[in-house]
Amino acid sequence: MKAVVSILAVSNALAAEVNPIEKVIEMMADLEQKIIGEGKVSQKTYDEFAEWCEDRSKDLGFEIKTGKSEVADLTATIADETAKIDAATSKIEDLSADIASDEADLKAATGVREKEAADFAAEQKELTEVIDMLQRAIAILEKEMAGGASMMQLKSASNLEQALEVMVKASAISAADGSRLTALLQSSSDDSDSDANAPAAEVYESHSGGIVDTLNGLLEKAEGQLDSATKAETAAKNKFDLLKQALTDEIKYANKDMDEQKKALAESGEVKAAAEGDLAVTSKALAEDIKALADLHTDCMTKAQDFEAEVTSRGEELKALAMAKKAVKENTAGASDQTYSFLQLASGSDLRSFEVVRRIKDLARKQHAPALAQLASRINSAIRLNHGDDVFAKIKGMISDMIEKLEKEQAEAAELKQWCDKEIAEATAKKEDATAIFEKLSTKIDSKTAQSKKLKEEVATLQKELAELARTQAEMDRIREEEKANYDANKPEMEQGLKGVKLALKILNDYYAKAGKAHGAAEGAGSGIIGMLEVIESDFTKGLTEMVAAEQVAAQTYDKETKENAIEKTTKEQDVKYKTKEAAALDKAIAELSTDREGVQAELDAVNEYLDSLDKKCTYKVESYAERKARREAEIAGLKEALDILENETAFVQTSALRGVRRHA
């Protein structure tokens, strides 16, 4: 910084006592020492600032490193939980497929088993009835009775068919049982055609002993068939029970595994959502730390450049002072003993007053302080209107009052600044904590809301499917009732018709068999009628068989589909129950989290409101606290220096001698 020296004149009395050249050189030396001292203070301040920059940079670097590590950990957690979710989802799909397959196998096996059981029951019933008939027939034949036309006719029967006919006529057995025994005998005879030693039905011995042996053979055969059927039924049932137990266990354990996988899926989803929320908060904090480090680097570099410029300027100023001091010493030695002419100035009191006013005005202009400008104007007015020592006392009082006022304002501002820094720091920390908690709660609420919505949509779909299933089952029930009603109405008519045809055939066959050739041509016509009745009998039998078969198929199909619908209904109802319960739990958790978030929001609103009040109270709209503090200190220093001018004659002389010199700021 360049300095221009202009030496002002003082009174002749002062000139006689003080050599102005020497005084100027002395003042230059003092200014050099002052500049050097300011340089040391500035260097110390900069060193402290540089140390703070380094410490702050290290702290931010550590925070950034920690933040990056946390981001990496959270990212890894999210990836791990995502993999767990995918694995659990895939496992649930596989288990669902296995359960569906096992249930289908169990249903198919159950259907087969039910058909086997029904077939066995029918066969058992039929064989039991046959055995009962055979036992009753044998008992009747073996019963020894004396006399009786029926028994005489029975003893005279030439074969089993005639014996059975006699027994029917004698009401020993029913006509139906007789027909069935005759059919059984014919069937047994057909099965024995390949045996050359087996006698035909017509050549059975006429005595009762041979007939009993024949019936005993049929009884033994029927009992053997019943025993074989019972053993086969027992084996089939045991096999089905083992298969059913195995499939039931597989379904049970698969459902257990599915529940565990669903639980793991929910836990992984919650952990992932929490990690994603933490990642968002941590990433935001990391970005802020990186920005703060960049801003710190910029500020520190700017201060370093400013300090270098200040050092350079201070060096140039010292160099200029040294050159000026050298020039004064080298060029004014010959004139030091001569008498100097100085500019005519006013008296010492006027000079002091003028210097005070000028300094305060310069200070007011430099610091943009209206209060100092008003003080300078008041002092100037006091000087013009008053004379003597009283005016100095008055001016000193004005300056002292202003200094006291500024010092008080400075102390209050410092106290307010300390309080504001503390309150703002605490409120900001609370805001950051509350914001982080709020964001975490919001993330959890959003995640659980999405899960609840998805579950409710799935429940709605399942309920719609259940309603459609119920409608389908109701339609099936209606159709089945109509089919069954038609069957129940038509079957007796068909059986009655078949019975009538068979009765007509029997009557005609018996009649023409007994009549022989006596009727001649009428027998040919009778044969034609019998042939037509046989065709009608065949049609009725076929129609009845088809009707029964159709009814059985319809009943089996209805039972199968009804059971499938029942299984599907049970499965979907369980899904609805489970998902409804899970959605309700999620809604409850959402309500609790929402309540927590509302509390955090209320706390956050209160903190923001308090920060706004602090901003209005603590933030200076025109200048910062540091700038305000520096300005106050400069004002106080300037006023004290002006006060020294009034109180110290030597200070005034030194100041007057360097009037016009631009002092180092």
pLDDT of residue 187: 58
Most confident region among 392-401, 533-542, 597-606 by mean pLDDT? 597-606
Q: Which residues of 322-347 are buried (b: 16+ CB within 10 A; e: fewer)?
A: eebbeebeeebeeeeeeeeeeeeeee
Q: What is the pLDDT of residues 31-50, one digit of tens each?
A: 778 888 888 888 888 888 88
Domains along the chain?
435-619 (1.10.287)
410 alpha-carbon distance from chain centroid: 56
Report in angstroms the alpha-carbon separations of 194 from 32, 199, 200, 517: 149, 11, 12, 35
Which pair of tokens denotes residue 457?
């949509």
Report in angstroms the alpha-carbon separations of 617 from 189, 411, 621: 122, 16, 10
Q: What is the pLDDT of residues 204-230, one digit of tens each?
A: 333 444 667 777 877 888 888 888 889
Q: What is the pLDDT of residues 149-175, one digit of tens each?
A: 445 455 555 555 555 655 555 545 555
- Of residues 442 and 180, which shows the higher confidence score? 442
pLDDT of residue 364: 65
pLDDT of residue 177: 59
Distance CA 4, CA 320 (A): 9
The HSE-up count of residue 300 (CA atoms within 13 Å, CB side) is 17
179 alpha-carbon distance from chain centroid: 77
Report in angstroms the alpha-carbon separations of 463 from 32, 92, 466, 482, 582: 96, 21, 5, 29, 16
Phi, psi of 173 (to 5 degrees): -135, 165
pLDDT of residue 622: 39
